[in-house]
């Protein structure tokens, strides 16, 4: 039966003015603090023509409130100190708002620093001391301000192989055999080439589906890689072998075998005859280059006889190859160009400064990843810049203050340029050339303002020179190779002013497709902390494993020494095999391997610069003895948004769960909110993001990051009004859509607005959101989203039966309509608010007619056919709506008649009880399960699910050693199925939203978002013992902690200045509340009122102690 005993029934209620707040705040003068522009502190180089201001009011006095503000903007701080605002002043504005205040002054000038401060007035009309001056600085402001060229560099070898006339070729008789005929086929190819001149250098590039081996004149030069447990190979990437010594003057034979694995991970036979492509690159002694590439003149056989690799083999009986063509009957796709494993390039330019410097700013971006240097010293501290976007649509630029790094006289500016997200093959097939075939390119310009007011620019152009850096290879999935033999003893040797560039070739000025260059107005990616190894083991001779005790995203730092040329290999994993070796099967096709070639110069240090891994364990091989435990350090990398939540309880398992949730977010917020950080995926899956975004927005200040991700999602609406399933897009801007995944385009902006109160994100996304909902409505005039709902992902990885796809899609459509109605009201769109209110009611009526019975039973028919038919839920079993998730969505999206809420909630509870009091929800049902149980009065059952340690449960992960959230409820049981088994996947961490909103009781409302009104509804449970939660909200720090002793809970609460608390209580509950022995309605610390038609009590800013009777 229902158990509402843990809803607060307070019998003692004591106001302790300011005590808790004073404990949290430093003892400083009251007034404005935490000044931000566009949700960033002192942002450098933003292009917003009308930036928005926000701040906190600090005042330890009980009831502290701002009643008016004035924003002052000046050209220098001295003017502000004299109360002069020569750029703009808002004047005194009677308002208690302290967020989303727009600049409304004259047009802003580019590359200009503006200073601003605040004046506030309190409830008595008295002014607070004005704030200290803060600042923001504009960037370039428009595309025409770019003076720089896009520049890059290709080695002669890279340029030659890229331009070789190589063809994808296939055997004309190749047919996919029946599965029973064997797991693989061998397709053999031969050609003869004649070398007319002496050879200085030669390399063979080859690839094919799925793995290749190659021979030159009978000598094997490439050996196929073994089939990984995932049973799939990233075969659109060239593998390379240097073959100079294997060639002879005159005629030479090239023999290549493509080994095709017949069965893919799902047990389905592949459809296409497997293709192959190859190029032999030759540099002659006279410095000319030539290529010999796969072409229709090559010959082929299937399962050739022994000796076919030899130069003298008679292949006259072999058939001519067939050129691959995407329009031929058995050729299903256009393969494009294979990826070429190129090196990281060093670009540099010498310049002279002849006049005294006042300031210097560097603006830089890249198609690829970059690091900038001035006079051999690194510029800035962010990593993996410029970050990941869809480079066909927009690329981000960064602004750096380099005043202290530019010297009078001679200077050197330089950069390292790496493939990054731009060129790394992406997705689980490691698709190359997602953003075009133009090699990585840098665009940068240095603005130097002199003390006489003159300005000069140093920009990337044809005068720059380039070379290969010591980083010989870099990929996000496969890792990085650094060659210490190429290092010099000075910092960043190739970019040092002490190094001569005589003989360096000029850069290549490239002309990529036009792309918008936008400023970075969100937090960068940085190394946030370091982790020391907790243990060092040797599971096999010469194999050492370092355990950092925590799963995370980042890289390693290795300090070691050894002979020059020693190849130290490091691999990474999340868990171990039973024998103590690292378990890598779940990485699928990602190699996740770093190589450090020792320089032999004594103690050396290596840190990968343009890759990252998801790991807890690092394996080291290649040395005769292991470096000691302290020689390998973990560097934690993530988007450097401020952390805003602290949470602890009296239950060790729950504390570890919270830590796992936070580390899952850390690990997967690396420029993009990814699904996982370790395998060949790492995509911005939007379904994962939308279910987690409320939790994420409590954990971190994501106001700026949400705007960036929303822009990524808008970028998927290319050629379609539908949002994609992940963003940024890869080979296609929109890889298809899916209900609940594409809906992130609406849910993420709404969540950000609700959490922060900032309407900017609504304005930026309104057009895209309305386009999306209009498209759904056009396709579904009956108000059931049964047409064109996209991929049938459903309640992903649910351990229960499959929930009906149309039920899920329709529920999310209705939810979108509700959120759009709220956002329309918040931005003054009255007609749109009414439009979406009517849309919701029509969807609700259709949903009830299709799925809801008069007894509260929610069910549906299977309708899981996909318009794309690519990815299916691996845990899908039976179909229908009579599932835990079906009831959760119907309740959460408010789709049931009011008189059936109780019955439907009872059905949900009965299903949980029938499942031995275990949850049965996947990605979509889990986030709202405990909330709906709590709202229906089943708080004890909600806590039972939270505290459980059986499978499936959050506690099961913790009890089995998890330090981050798992993709599956039972990841430890799925080691034999590596296809979908990440141990660092934040989606199930969405439960923290309930822990914050309900267990701690700190919530907000769309009627007054951003925690301007703090909605209070804690639920207590003796099994948890105690709970403490601190949240740094848009209006300031909020605190809630409680302890249960016997049948009493003592609850401490702090409401920040300029906000208010709302304690929703029915009339019956209010009659039982007292304060100092008097009825609550007579309390001086709480005033009765209503909010959204519900009764309750308003609390002024300050600190309170409640005593709550639990039974």
Active site residues: 681, 967
Here the tokens at position 179 are 């599965």
The CA angle 156-160-163, to the nearest 5 degrees, is 140
What phi, psi does 465 have (nearest 5°)? -120, 170
Per the CB < 8 A criterion, the answer to whether 965 and 985 are in contact is: yes
State the pairing for strand pair 88-89/68-74. antiparallel
CA nearest neighbour of 478 among 275, 233, 153: 233
Helix (H) or strand (E) run with residue 257 in it: strand 250-261
Q: Around Cβ 317, how many Cβ atoms within 10 Å?
A: 8
Q: Rounded to whole angstroms, how far apart are CA atoms 803 and 808?
A: 7
* Number of residues written out for the chain: 1111
Q: Which residues contact 219 (CB under 8 A, 6 or more apart)?
A: 246
The whole-angstrom separation of Cα 290 and Cα 241 is 16
Phi, psi of 973 (to 5 degrees): -90, 0
CA dihedral 951, 956, 959, 963 (to 10 degrees): 150
Strand order in the sheet with 377-378: 377-378, 369-374, 409-418, 345-353, 465-468
3-class state of residue 913 by DSSP: helix
Question: Dihedrals φ, ψ of 1082, to 5°?
Answer: -100, 5
Q: How far apart are CA 512 and CA 460, in angstroms?
A: 15
Mode of pairing for the β-strands spanning 582-583 and 1013-1016: unpaired
Alpha-carbon radius of gyration of the chain: 31
Give the dihedral sign, CA 638/639/640/646: negative
Cis peptide before 16 (omega within 30 of 0): no
CA separation for the pair 133, 1111 (Å, rounded):
53
DSSP track, 668-719: HBSSSB-S-SSSS----BHHHHHHHHHHHHHHB--HHHHHHHHHHHHTT-SS
**Closest by Cα among 653, 688, 683, 656 to 670:** 683
SS3 658: helix
Determine contact, residues 337/238, Cβ cutoff 8 Å.
no
The one-character DSSP state at 996 is: I
User: Is the CB of residue 860 less than 8 Å from the CB of residue 850?
Assistant: yes
């Amino acid at each position: 039966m229902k158990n509402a005993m843990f809803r607060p029934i307070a019998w003692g209620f004591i106001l302790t003015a300011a005590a808790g707040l004073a404990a949290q705040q430093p003892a400083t003068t009251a007034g404005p603090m935490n000044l931000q522009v566009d949700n960033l502190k002192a942002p450098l180089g933003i292009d917003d023509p009308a930036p928005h201001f926000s701040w906190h009011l600090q005042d330890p006095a009980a009831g502290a409130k701002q009643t008016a503000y004035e924003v002052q903007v000046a050209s220098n701080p001295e003017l502000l100190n004299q109360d002069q605002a020569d750029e703009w002043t808002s004047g005194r504005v009677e308002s208690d708002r302290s967020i989303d205040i727009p600049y409304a002054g004259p047009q802003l000038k580019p590359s200009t620093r503006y200073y601003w401060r605040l004046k506030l007035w309190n409830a008595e009309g008295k002014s607070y001391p004005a704030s200290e001056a803060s600042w923001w600085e504009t960037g370039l402001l428009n595309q025409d301000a770019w003076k720089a060229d896009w520049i890059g560099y290709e080695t002669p070898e890279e340029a030659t192989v890229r331009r070789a006339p190589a063809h994808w070729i296939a055997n004309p008789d190749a047919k996919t055999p029946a599965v029973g005929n064997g797991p693989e086929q061998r397709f053999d190819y031969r050609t003869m080439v004649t070398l007319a001149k002496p050879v200085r250098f030669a390399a063979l590039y080859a690839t094919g589906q799925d793995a290749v081996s190659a021979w030159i004149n009978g000598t094997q030069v490439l050996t196929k890689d073994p089939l990984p447990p995932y049973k799939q190979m990233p075969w659109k990437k060239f593998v390379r072998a240097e073959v100079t010594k294997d060639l002879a003057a005159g005629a030479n034979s090239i023999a290549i075998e493509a080994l095709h694995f017949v069965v893919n991970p799902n047990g389905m036979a592949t459809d296409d005859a497997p293709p192959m492509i190859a190029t032999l690159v030759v540099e002659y002694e006279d410095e000319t280059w030539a290529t010999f590439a796969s072409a229709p003149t090559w010959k082929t056989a299937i399962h050739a006889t022994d000796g076919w690799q030899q130069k003298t083999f008679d292949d006259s009986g072999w058939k001519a190859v067939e050129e691959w063509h995407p329009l031929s009957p058995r050729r299903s796709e256009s393969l494009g160009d294979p990826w070429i494993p190129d090196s990281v390039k060093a670009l540099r330019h010498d310049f002279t400064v002849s006049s005294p410097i006042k300031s210097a700013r560097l603006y830089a971006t890249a198609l690829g990843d970059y690091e900038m240097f001035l006079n051999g010293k690194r510029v800035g501290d962010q990593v993996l810049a410029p970050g990941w976007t869809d480079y066909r649509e927009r690329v981000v630029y960064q602004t750096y203050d380099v005043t202290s790094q530019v010297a009078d006289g001679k200077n050197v500016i330089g950069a390292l340029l790496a493939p990054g997200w731009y060129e790394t093959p992406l997705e689980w097939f490691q698709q190359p050339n997602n953003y075009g075939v133009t090699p990585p390119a840098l665009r940068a310009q240095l603005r130097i303002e002199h003390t006489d007011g003159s300005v000069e620019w140093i920009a990337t152009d044809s005068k720059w020179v380039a070379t290969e850096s010591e980083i010989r290879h870099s990929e996000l999935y496969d890792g990085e190779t650094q060659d210490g033999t190429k290092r010099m003893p000075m910092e960043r040797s190739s970019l040092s002013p002490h190094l001569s560039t005589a003989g360096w070739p000029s850069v290549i000025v490239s002309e990529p497709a036009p792309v918008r260059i936008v400023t970075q107005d969100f937090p960068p990616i940085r190394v946030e902390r370091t982790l020391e190894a907790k243990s060092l083991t040797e599971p096999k001779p010469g194999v050492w494993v370092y355990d950092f005790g925590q799963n995370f995203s980042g890289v390693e730092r290795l300090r070691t020494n050894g002979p020059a040329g020693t190849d130290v290999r490091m691999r990474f994993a999340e868990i171990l095999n039973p024998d103590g070796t690292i378990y890598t099967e779940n990485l699928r096709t990602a190699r996740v391997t770093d190589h450090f070639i020792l320089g032999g110069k004594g103690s050396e240090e290596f840190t990968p610069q343009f890759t990252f891994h998801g790991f807890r364990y690092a394996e080291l091989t290649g040395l005769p003895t292991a470096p000691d435990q302290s020689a390998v350090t973990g560097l934690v990398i993530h988007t450097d948004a401020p952390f805003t939540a602290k949470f602890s309880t009296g239950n060790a398992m729950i504390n570890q769960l919270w830590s796992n949730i936070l580390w899952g977010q850390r690990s997967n917020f690396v420029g993009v909110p990814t699904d996982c950080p370790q395998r060949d995926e790492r995509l911005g899956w939007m379904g994962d993001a939308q279910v987690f975004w409320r939790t994420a927005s409590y954990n971190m200040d994501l106001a700026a990051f949400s705007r960036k991700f929303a822009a990524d999602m808008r970028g998927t609406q290319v050629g379609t009004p539908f949002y994609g399933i992940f963003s940024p897009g890869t080979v296609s801007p929109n890889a298809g859509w899916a209900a609940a995944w594409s809906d992130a385009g609406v849910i993420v902006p709404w969540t950000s607005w609700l959490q922060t109160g900032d309407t900017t994100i609504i304005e930026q996304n309104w057009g895209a959101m309305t386009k999306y909902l209009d498209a759904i409505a056009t396709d579904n005039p009956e108000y059931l989203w049964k047409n064109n709902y996209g991929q049938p992902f459903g309640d992903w990885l649910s351990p229960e039966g499959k929930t009906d796809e149309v039920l899920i899609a329709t529920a999310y459509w209705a939810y979108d309509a509700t959120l759009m109605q709220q956002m329309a009201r918040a931005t003054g769109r009255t007609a749109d608010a009414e439009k979406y209110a009517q849309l919701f009611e029509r969807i609700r009526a259709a949903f009830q007619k299709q799925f809801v019975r008069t007894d509260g039973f929610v069910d549906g028919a299977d309708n899981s056919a996909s318009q794309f038919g690519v990815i299916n839920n691996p845990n899908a079993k039976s179909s229908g709506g009579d599932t835990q998730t079906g009831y959760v969505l119907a309740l959460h999206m408010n789709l049931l008649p009011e008189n059936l809420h109780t019955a439907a909630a009872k059905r949900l509870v009965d299903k949980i009880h029938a499942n031995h009091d275990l949850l049965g929800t996947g990605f979509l049902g889990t986030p709202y399960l405990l909330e709906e149980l709590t709202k229906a009065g089943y708080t004890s059952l909600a806590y039972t699910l939270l505290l459980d340690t059986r499978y499936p449960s959050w506690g099961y992960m913790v009890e089995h050693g998890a330090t981050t959230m798992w993709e599956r409820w039972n990841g430890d049981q799925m080691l034999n199925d590596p296809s979908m088994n990440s141990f660092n996947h934040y989606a199930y961490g969405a439960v923290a939203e309930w822990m914050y909103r309900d267990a701690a009781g700190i919530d907000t409302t769309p009627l007054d978002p951003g925690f301007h009104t703090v909605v209070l509804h804690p639920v207590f449970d003796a099994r948890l013992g105690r709970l403490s939660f601190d949240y740094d909200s848009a209006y300031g720090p909020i605190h809630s902690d409680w302890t249960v002793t016997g049948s009493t809970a003592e609850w401490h609460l702090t409401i920040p200045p300029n906000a208010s608390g709302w304690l929703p209580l029915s009339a019956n509950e209010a009659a039982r509340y007292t304060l100092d022995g008097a009825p609550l309605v007579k309390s001086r610390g709480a005033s009765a009122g209503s909010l959204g038609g519900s009764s309750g009590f308003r609390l002024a800013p300050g600190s309170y102690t409640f005593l709550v009777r639990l039974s």
